[in-house]
C-alpha cells in the first residue's frame, strides 16, 4: 500500500464490476466461499452487519404485531407437492435428505445408511410446513389474524453462486400471516412492503422502487407479488424484498379453514414476505467505491476506529491511555438508538492499518499521536469523503459532533444513491432507443448499459419473453406509484396505459 497507489480495490468498478465486487468482499473480510459448493462463510465483520439489520427489522415487524416462531428445517416431499406451481418453482433447486445415518461401506469408508421412507427437502421456503401448523392453530375467526415470522437458514441449490447475492444456503426472514378476509390480507401484503421500504431506505440508505411483479416473475403459487427494486452501480436491478398475497391457494393446499362469525366455514387468506442476506450484497453494490465497502452508519458493525500513533516506544503508554479514555467516552454516546461501537487498533503495521479500515468501510477513522494529544485534538476522516481529506478536530467537539456526522453521512449516502439511480433511469418510448439503451457500447465491458428504462408494456407475456430473450432484460415491476398514461408497447406497439420498469437484474 505505497503512496503511489490511488485506490485500495483492484480492478476498479469501471474496469470490471463483477470482479470488483468479489475483491471488495475479500478486502473487507465480510465473507468467503466455503468448501461446500455454493455455501458461504459469513465472517464476523459481515455477520455483525447482519445482526444489526436483523435487530432493526425485527423491531419493525414486532411493532406491527408480528411474533417470531420456529418451524422444521425439513419439509416432507408430499407437503411441497400440495401446491402445484409451488413445487414446480422449487423442484430444480432442492437439497434432498434421503438417509438418516452413515454406515461402513464395502470399501471400509462411510456411506449413507438408513434410507428414509419419504425423502425430506431442506426448506427452500416454508409456506407448506408453516401452513400445516396454521391449519391446526386456526379454528375460528377469533384466531385471526395470525401474524408469524421466522428467522432461518434456507437452501436453494444454485449452480452459479456469488457471495451474498446468490448462494445455496442463505439466511433470511420469512413472514407468514393468515386472515379472515382478502382485503385484510392484501392490506398486510402492502403494509409489509412498506416496512421493507423503510428498513432499506432509512437504515441501509438504499433507495428503492415499489412495484408489482408480472405473472411471469411472481412467487410460485402467489396471486400477487409486490417487491422493492434497487439500482446497483452497474445499473442492474436488485430485488431487495418481496411481499406476496397468496389468496386462498396455500390455505386450500394446507387446509387452513376457520369458522366465521356467521358460523360458516371458510378458507383463510394468507400472505408471505421475505428478505435475506442478499441485502448485504445490495449494500455493497450501492455504496461501495474503489476503496471498498462503505457502511451506512445506522447498521455499521462499528462506527469509529481509533488509530493511535507512536513513533518512539516510550510514547506508547501515554498515547494508549489517551486513546482508551477517548474510546470509553465515545462508547457512552448514543447514535440512532444504540451505543457507539468503537474499535481501537494499536497494531504497529504502518499504512496498511488505515487502509484495512477504509476497505472495511467503517464510517469514521481517527488518528491520535503525541502532536494531536498536545493540542487535545484528533485527526479524523469520513469514509464517504476522499480518503486524503482529514480534519483536525478538538477532542470534545469530536465526541459531541459524532452523532450528527454519522447521521449526515447516512443521509449523504442515500442522496448519492438516489442521484445515481435518477441519472440512469429514463423514459424510453422508441424501440430502437430501447435496444440501444440495453446494448453495451464496449464489448469488453458487457455489464455497462443504460440502466432502468421506464417504458410502456401492453401486458402480453409474449412481449415480456421476447425482450428477455433478446436483451436479458426483464420487467422488474409494474410501479405502484404511477399515473395512468396512454402509450404504445415498447415491443409490439399495441396500446398500453402505464409504464413499467425494464432492467437487467441480479
- 8 A C-beta contact, residue 342 and residue 406: no
**Stated length of the chain:** 506
Torsion angle of C-alpha atoms 178, 279, 61, 134, degrees rounded to 10: 20
- 8 A C-beta contact, residue 39 and residue 158: no
- 8 A C-beta contact, residue 179 and residue 185: yes
Which residues in 132-191 contact a copy of itself (CB under 8 A)? 132-133, 136, 142, 148, 152-153, 155, 157, 169, 171
Give min distance, CB of 84 to a copy of itself, in A: 11
Residue 26 or 416: the one with the smaller Cβ distance to a copy of itself is: 26
Residue 168 or 474: the one with the smaller Cβ distance to a copy of itself is: 168
- Taking CB under 8 A as the rule, does residue 60 contact a copy of itself? no
CB atoms within 10 A of CB 28: 25
**Binding segment toward a copy of itself, per CB under 8 A, in 126-134, 210-218, 263-271, 306-314:** 126-134
Dist. CA 157–CA 326, nearest whole Å: 48
- Taking CB under 8 A as the rule, does residue 97 contact a copy of itself? yes
What's the sign of the alpha-carbon dihedral 261, 262, 266, 271? negative
Residues 6+ apart with CB under 8 A from 495: 458, 486, 487, 488, 489
Residue 122 or 366: the one with the smaller Cβ distance to a copy of itself is: 122
List the grid coordinates of 279. Answer: 441485502
Residues 6+ apart with CB under 8 A from 129: 71, 72, 75, 79, 123
- Taking CB under 8 A as the rule, does residue 85 contact a copy of itself? no
- Taking CB under 8 A as the rule, does residue 334 contact a copy of itself? no
The binder of a copy of itself chosen from 32, 328, 436, 485 (CB under 8 A): 32
Dist. CA 270–CA 249, nearest whole Å: 8
Size of the site for a copy of itself (CB under 8 A): 64
Instruction: Name the H helices within 227-275.
Output: 249-254
Residue 155 or 413: the one with the smaller Cβ distance to a copy of itself is: 155
**Binding segment toward a copy of itself, per CB under 8 A, in 65-73, 387-395, 408-416, 461-469:** 65-73
Dist. CA 164–CA 350, nearest whole Å: 32
The binder of a copy of itself chosen from 6, 15, 44, 391 (CB under 8 A): 44
The binder of a copy of itself chosen from 41, 216, 397, 462 (CB under 8 A): 41
- Taking CB under 8 A as the rule, does residue 74 contact a copy of itself? yes
- Taking CB under 8 A as the rule, does residue 68 contact a copy of itself? yes
Residue 68 or 472: the one with the smaller Cβ distance to a copy of itself is: 68
Question: E strands along 374-467, which residues?
Answer: 377-382, 390-394, 425-427, 452-456
- Taking CB under 8 A as the rule, does residue 110 contact a copy of itself? yes
3-state secondary structure of 228: strand
Give min distance, CB of 260 to a copy of itself, in A: 18
The binder of a copy of itself chosen from 15, 59, 100, 198 (CB under 8 A): 100
Binding site for a copy of itself (CB under 8 A): 32, 34-36, 39-44, 47-48, 50-51, 67-77, 79-81, 87, 91-103, 109-112, 114, 119-122, 129, 132-133, 136, 142, 148, 152-153, 155, 157, 169, 171, 347
Amino acid at each position: 500500500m505505497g503512496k503511489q497507489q490511488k485506490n485500495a480495490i483492484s480492478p476498479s468498478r469501471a474496469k470490471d464490476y463483477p470482479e470488483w465486487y468479489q475483491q471488495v468482499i475479500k478486502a473487507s473480510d465480510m465473507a468467503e466461499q466455503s468448501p461446500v459448493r455454493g455455501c458461504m462463510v459469513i465472517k464476523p465483520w459481515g455477520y455483525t452487519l447482519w445482526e444489526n439489520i436483523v435487530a432493526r427489522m425485527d423491531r419493525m415487524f414486532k411493532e406491527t404485531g408480528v411474533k417470531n416462531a420456529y418451524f422444521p428445517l425439513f419439509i416432507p416431499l408430499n407437503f411441497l407437492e400440495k401446491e402445484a406451481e409451488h413445487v414446480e418453482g422449487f423442484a430444480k433447486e432442492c437439497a434432498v435428505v434421503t438417509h438418516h445415518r452413515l454406515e461402513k461401506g464395502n470399501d471400509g469408508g462411510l456411506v449413507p445408511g438408513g434410507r428414509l421412507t419419504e425423502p425430506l427437502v431442506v426448506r427452500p421456503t416454508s409456506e407448506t410446513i408453516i401452513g400445516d401448523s396454521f391449519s391446526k392453530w386456526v379454528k375460528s375467526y377469533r384466531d385471526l389474524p395470525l401474524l408469524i415470522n421466522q428467522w432461518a437458514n434456507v437452501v436453494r441449490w444454485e449452480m452459479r453462486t456469488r457471495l451474498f447475492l446468490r448462494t445455496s444456503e442463505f439466511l433470511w426472514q420469512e413472514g407468514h400471516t393468515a386472515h379472515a378476509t382478502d382485503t385484510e390480507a392484501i392490506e398486510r401484503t402492502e403494509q409489509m412492503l412498506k416496512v421493507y421500504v423503510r428498513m432499506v431506505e432509512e437504515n441501509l440508505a438504499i433507495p428503492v422502487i415499489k412495484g408489482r411483479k408480472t405473472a411471469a416473475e411472481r412467487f410460485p403459487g402467489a396471486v400477487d407479488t409486490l417487491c422493492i427494486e434497487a439500482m446497483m452501480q452497474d445499473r442492474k436491478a436488485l430485488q431487495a424484498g418481496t411481499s406476496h398475497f397468496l389468496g386462498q391457494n396455500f390455505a386450500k393446499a394446507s387446509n387452513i379453514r376457520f369458522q366465521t362469525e356467521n358460523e360458516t366455514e371458510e378458507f383463510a387468506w394468507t400472505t408471505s414476505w421475505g428478505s435475506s442476506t442478499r441485502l448485504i450484497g445490495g449494500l455493497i453494490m450501492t455504496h461501495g467505491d474503489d476503496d471498498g465497502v462503505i457502511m451506512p452508519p445506522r447498521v455499521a458493525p462499528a462506527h469509529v476506529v481509533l488509530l493511535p500513533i507512536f513513533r518512539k516506544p516510550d510514547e506508547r503508554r501515554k498515547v494508549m491511555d489517551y486513546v482508551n479514555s477517548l474510546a470509553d467516552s465515545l462508547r457512552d454516546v448514543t447514535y440512532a438508538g444504540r451505543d457507539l461501537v468503537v474499535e481501537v487498533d494499536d497494531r504497529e503495521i504502518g499504512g496498511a492499518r488505515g487502509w484495512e479500515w477504509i476497505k472495511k468501510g467503517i464510517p469514521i477513522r481517527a488518528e491520535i499521536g503525541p502532536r494531536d494529544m498536545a493540542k487535545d485534538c484528533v485527526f479524523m476522516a469520513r469514509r464517504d469523503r476522499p480518503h486524503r481529506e482529514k480534519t483536525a478536530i478538538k477532542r470534545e467537539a469530536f465526541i459531541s459532533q459524532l452523532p450528527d456526522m454519522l447521521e449526515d453521512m447516512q443521509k449523504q449516502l442515500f442522496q448519492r444513491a438516489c442521484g445515481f439511480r435518477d441519472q440512469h433511469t429514463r423514459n424510453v418510448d422508441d424501440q430502437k432507443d430501447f435496444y440501444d439503451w440495453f446494448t453495451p457500447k464496449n464489448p469488453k465491458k458487457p455489464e455497462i448499459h443504460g440502466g432502468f428504462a421506464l417504458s410502456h408494456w401492453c401486458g402480453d407475456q409474449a412481449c415480456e419473453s421476447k425482450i428477455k430473450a433478446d436483451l436479458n432484460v426483464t420487467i422488474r415491476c409494474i410501479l405502484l406509484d404511477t399515473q395512468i398514461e396512454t402509450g404504445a408497447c415498447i415491443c409490439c406497439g399495441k396500446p398500453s396505459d402505464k409504464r413499467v420498469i425494464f432492467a437487467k437484474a441480479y
